[in-house]
Copies of this chain bind each other. A is one copy, B any other.
Amino acid sequence: MTLNSATPAFVDHLRAELPAAAFREASPAYLEEPRGRWQGRAGVVVAPDCTADVAKVVRAASEAAVPLVPYGGGTGLVGGQLCPEGALPVILSLERMRAVRGIFPEENVMVVEAGMILQDIHEAAARVDRIFPLSIAAKGSARIGGNLATNAGGVNVLRYGNARDLCLGLEAVLPDGQIWQGLKRLRKDNTGYDLRNLLIGSEGTLGVITAAALKLYPRPAGEGTAVMVVRDPRAALDLLALARDHMGEGVSAFELMHRQGLEFLAQELPDIRQPFEERPEWFVLIEVGLARGLDPAGALETLFGEAMEAGLVSDGMIAQSEAQRQAFREVREQIPEANRRVGSVSSHDISLPMGAIPEFVEKGREAIAVLGAFRINCFGHLGDGNLHYNIFPMPGKTRADHDAERDLIKRALHDLVDEMGGSVSAEHGIGRLKVDDLERYGDPAKLSAMRAIKAALDPKGIMNPGAVLRAV
C-alpha cells in the first residue's frame, strides 16, 4: 500500500475542518523517544479536544491515505510513538482530551479521556477513596490512552493485572473514522467479539483510543512493606508461595533484586539509603495491602518467621513507618535510573513461566559468559514472571566497546527465553524495536491472523505503519 505524506495541501484541508487551537508545532517533544534510537518526523501535529474532531482527523487521513501516529505521553520504550521513515505522518496527540467524564465510586469505575495523565488518574481516584492500581515509572507523564494502547504493566500486576485487566470499556476511533461507542461500565457483557482487548495492546495500529472506563479498587485497609534477603531466585519463588498462602490476593507487589542493582545505586545515586549493611546477592521487596482486622506489619513478621524456619530467608526488615516504606520502595524505583547512568550494553524486558525463572537465571548467566565478561543486573516483577535483564560492560569499559556483541547477546538471550516458553516482550510491547523479534519468535498462525486483522480493519495501512507489524 502506498501512503502519502501529510503535505501542506493536506494540512490546509485539516485546518478547514478543525479549530485553530487543535494545531501544535512539531516540536522535538513529539519527535523523540526516551531511548534516543529513532528520530520521528511529522507533516503536522494535531491535538483535537473532542472525539468528533479525532474522527475528523482519522477520516481525512484515511481518505488521503496519510499515515497517522497516535501520541500519548511519549514515554513508550519501543519506538511505537514515532515514525522514522516513509510518508510524513500526522501526529495525533491526545493531550487536550484529559477530562474525567465520570466517577462512580459505588461501582468502582471511573470514565476518563485518553489524554489524562496516569498520575492525575491516581489522584482523582484517591479523592473518592479509591485506587487505580496501574503504576509504572513514567506515571507522571504517561497518558492512559498510551497505557492502554501498549497494555502497560508495572509493579501491581501480580494483584490487579495489566492495563487490559483494568479496563471495562473503550471509546475509540477506528481506522475508517467510525467512532466505536464502547464505554460500558459493565463487569459482564458477552455481546460479540472482544474489540476492547483487540485495541488494547495493538499500539495504535488498529485505531485511536479516545476514552476508557477504568476499574477502581477500594483502598486496602492497611498496607505494609518489607525487604527480605533470599538465598536465590528459587527461594524467592517459595517465599512468594508462602506469602500468598498467608495473605492470598493481599500480596500486591513482589519484586526481586540483585546485588548488582545495589552496587549501581551506590555508585550512581549514593544519596539513596540502602536497606542492608552488607549488600545481599538476592533480595525481595514485598508489598501487601490487607483487609480490616489484619495488621500488615504483624502479618509480614509472621511470614518472615516462617520463612526463616523454612530456610528461605536469612535477613529482613519490615517497614515501621510510611517513611520507611517509601525508602524501601525508592531502592526498587531508582534502580532503572542507576542502570541508565551506568549505560547498559543491552536490556531485556522478558517474562517466563514462574517456575522456570531459577533455571533461566542460571542459564542466562552461562549464555552471556560465553560471549564475554559482563555485569548482569537481573531484577523485576518476580510475582508476574517478568524480569528486566540488563547487561552492562565491566568497569572501565563502555557500552560502545560492545557494539559488535549487542546483537549476539540479544539473540542468545531471546532464544533462551523462547525455548523456555517465555516472552521477549513482557510489558513494553513491540513498537518498532521488536518487529524483527516478533517475526522470529511469534507463532506463525498468530502472525498470519494478526496480518489478516490489520488488513481487514485498516486496509490502507494508515494507522501507525511499521509498528508491531512491518509496513506492507
A353 to chain B, nearest CB (A): 4
Chain B residues within 8 Å of A438, by CB: 191-192
Closest 6 CB pairs of A and B: A456-B456, A197-B197, A178-B445, A189-B423, A180-B445, A452-B456
State which of B354, B381, B385, B457 has its C-beta within 8 Å of the C-beta of A449.
Answer: B457
Copies of this protein in the assembly total 2
Which of A116-124, A225-233, A292-300, A366-374 is found at the contact surface with chain B?
A292-300
Q: Does A79 sit within 8 A of B, measured CB to CB?
A: no
State which of B157, B182, B302 has its C-beta within 8 Å of the C-beta of A446.
Answer: B182
In the assembly, what is the distance between CA of A384 and CA of B215, in Å? 12
Q: Does A260 sit within 8 A of B, measured CB to CB?
A: no
Is the Cβ of A292 less than 8 Å from the Cβ of B245? yes
- Chain A interface size band reads 35 or more
In the assembly, what is the distance between CA of A457 and CA of B179, in Å? 23
Chain B residues within 8 Å of A174, by CB: 445, 448-449
In the assembly, what is the distance between CA of A457 and CA of B193, in Å? 13
Is the Cβ of A190 less than 8 Å from the Cβ of B151? yes
Residues of A within 8 A of B (CB): 104, 106-107, 109, 150-151, 153, 157-158, 161-162, 164-165, 174, 178-182, 184-195, 197-198, 200-202, 206, 218, 220-221, 237-238, 241, 244-250, 289-294, 299, 302, 351-355, 381, 384-386, 421-430, 434, 437-438, 441-450, 452-453, 455-457, 468
A107-B353, A246-B291, A443-B181 known; A385-B426 Cβ under 8 A: no
Closest to A107 in B: B354
Closest to A249 in B: B249
A450-B193, A455-B456 known; A157-B187 Cβ under 8 A: yes
Chain B residues within 8 Å of A198, by CB: 193-194, 197-198, 453
